[in-house]
Chain A
Amino acid sequence: MSYPVIDTYSTLDSILHRFDPRAKLITFTILIFSFAFITELVVALLAVIFSIILIFISRIPLHFVYISLKFPALFIFMIIVVMAFTVQGSPLIGLGYVSITIEGLYIGALIFLRAIASLILAFLMLATSRFDEIIKAMYSLKIPNILIQMITFSYRYIFVLLGEFFTMKRSMYTRGFKMKLNQYSLNIIGNMIGMLLVKSYERGEKVYRSMLSRGYTGNPRLFTDFRMVMADYMLSSVLLLIAFSVQLFPFVISNL
């Protein structure tokens, strides 16, 4: 377990890093939604290749990409395995009771590729901007103010509370606690979680009072200097074009 450090490499310089955060938020979201509903296996493969090319364009070190996406990718891979065994169809390999079917493998692979493409894009969107820039972009896109503030403050306090949590965990382990799957362990963990909640609740009170004393009124004050330049419009158009053509592809094919 470690701190979530998605924007470690947000200070590099690349086309994606220079991309206006507002435009990035919109175009990447459209791309993610478009890639998640691809219907053809070949197109899904192209989408994954495109996303991988974007990783190279972004210049984010590959080991960082690897450690960030390893577990999510493994989790999605399990879906292929389950689908391959459970979908009815013509068997490819029979193993006694169970058999791997072609149909299952096809659906599984399609889901896997769609998910990986979306995963990489979501990763790149956040990895190439500082988180506070994304937040500012959300404000200027007129997303309800309450919701954004909740996201921002929750994000900040995750780090504080993770630190608190590590300390509690360490002190538990120094006293000889061992995590096992039994009622005793679960009770102890339950008490620890309860303690974390109590501490967080009290901290919430303090945070509220300190924010109030600094003049917090529930409205954010923003100093943004986002300016769309030619390159931003170009990149947005290219990405949007890809998002739409991926969805239009099956219709084009069927009309040929």
Chain B
Amino acid sequence: MHISDGVLSAPVIAAGWIVTLFFIALTIRSTMKKYDIVEQIPKFSVMTAAFFVVSLIHIPVGPTSVHPMLNGLIGIVLGPIAYVSMFVGLILQAFLFQHGGVTTIGVNAAMVGIPAMIAYYLFMKGYERGISEKTLGFMCGAFAIALAAILLVFVLLSTGQEFSGLARVAAVAHLPLIVIEGILTGAIVTYLAKVKPELLPKKMKK
């Protein structure tokens, strides 16, 4: 999923950083307006650490294994500030595990963060309509990873035509992940709705 250092061209990297810095400033500012940031920092950090730990689970797929990214779930649980959470997660991943690259943190954060934010709004809309948590979780989880894969293909193609083959391979590799993440997100959201509903966005009553 992550794009490593040295793959993308300078303009794409720069665009990724600009998008990411914009969204970070925006989401942190809007969170500060609504909540007390002193209260948010510890809670946010513990959840970010939890998602980081979750991304270390390996699920066997044929001869290899994949790890869940759950960007849809992060979006549902944290709301728009999920973008910052994933940015922090990517920084820690790049420096603690040397996974994902340093220069590409901006692009990678945009690829997983933007779908996460959209997944949050989709979940709220679906919740208002009264769709069950399981279906909604599946849809948001699958959607978030599918959009991330589309963005990945887009990023690779915008770097150069010679990456079309790599983009195709990456897209195919994401297909099983879409189903896996969908089922996982559905299961987690169902569980949270039963055990700790306040972790999910509030159900609006008409």
Q: How far is the CA of A125 from the CA of B185 in the complex (A)?
A: 36
**Which of chain B's residues has its CB closest to A89's CB?**
B162
Cα(A183)–Cα(B7), bound, Å:
36
Query: Do residues A79 and B187 form an inter-chain contact, with CB atoms below 8 A?
Result: no
Report chain A residues within 8 Å CB of B188. Answer: 190-191, 193-194, 197
Please tell me the size bucket of the interface on B.
35 or more
Instruction: Tell whether, in the assembled complex, residue A122 and residue B102 are in contact, meaning their CB atoms are under 8 Å apart.
Output: yes
In terms of DSSP, what is the predominant structure of the interface of chain B? helix
Q: Is there contact, CB below 8 Å, between A32 and B88?
A: no
Contact across chains for B42 and A208 when beta carbons are under 8 A apart: yes
Query: What 0/1 pattern do residues 171 to 193 of B give for CB contact below 8 A with A?
Result: 00000000010011111101110
**B18 contacts partner chain A, Cβ-Cβ < 8 Å:** no
Are B46 and A111 interface neighbours, CB within 8 A? no
Does A72 belong to the interface (CB within 8 Å)? yes
Select one of A1, A114, A149 contacting B5, CB under 8 A: A114
Contact sample, A vs B, 10 pairs, CB 8 Å cutoff: A35-B5, A111-B7, A147-B24, A155-B92, A183-B183, A187-B183, A194-B192, A198-B192, A207-B42, A216-B38
Which 3 A/B pairs are nearest by Cβ-Cβ distance?
A86-B165, A190-B187, A114-B6
Which residues of B come within 8 Å of A, CB atoms? 4-7, 9-10, 13, 24, 28, 37-39, 41-50, 52-54, 56-61, 68, 70, 77, 84, 88-89, 91-92, 94-99, 101-103, 162, 164-166, 168-169, 180, 183-188, 190-192, 195-196, 199
